[in-house]
Amino acid sequence: MPQASRRTVIGVTAGALAGLAAAGPSALAAGLGRAASADGHRPPATDLKPFDEVYRGRRIQGAPTGTAGHHGAHGGHGGQAHDFGYRVTVDGEELHVMRNADGSWISVVNHYETYAEPRALARAAVVELQGAALVPLALA
């Protein structure tokens, strides 16, 4: 069996999930940036350019992960990847992002409004955060 993906972790009884606020930063690496994107229909996120800038006093960075579409995880129960081929950080802390079927992006702090590309998404997160730090992203 492949390594437990982030999707698998999320799939356990939700009440057992460790809260985001309670989770430790070390779990981040276990869940993200590993498996391939299951998206075979959109232009790969690896074609998107990286960015690195200071926006309203926060350092935002984004870069392709280089893994999208390379291996495995094309759906199926428990096998869904959570790497959309692009990684975004705010002051070094990972911002959970997701790509929609139409190629637009959302993040965990702007989850009901789409953005055309990751830099706009990162800037929107900075506005929403009003200076607050992200909680280290982890679910187990």
Binding site for another protein (CB under 8 A): 6-7, 10-11, 13-15, 17, 19-21, 37-41, 75-78, 80-82, 96, 98-102, 108-114, 128-130, 132-135, 139
The minimum distance between CB 53 and another protein, in angstroms, equals: 20
Structure-block tokens of residue 17:
């999930």
Strand order in the sheet with 58-64: 51-55, 58-64, 86-90, 93-95
* Among 90, 32, 97, 35, residue whose Cα is nearest residue 67: 35
The minimum distance between CB 80 and another protein, in angstroms, equals: 3
Q: Which is nearer to another protein, 48 or 68 (CB)?
A: 68
Q: Which is nearer to another protein, 65 or 110 (CB)?
A: 110
CB 97 within 8 A of CB 121: yes
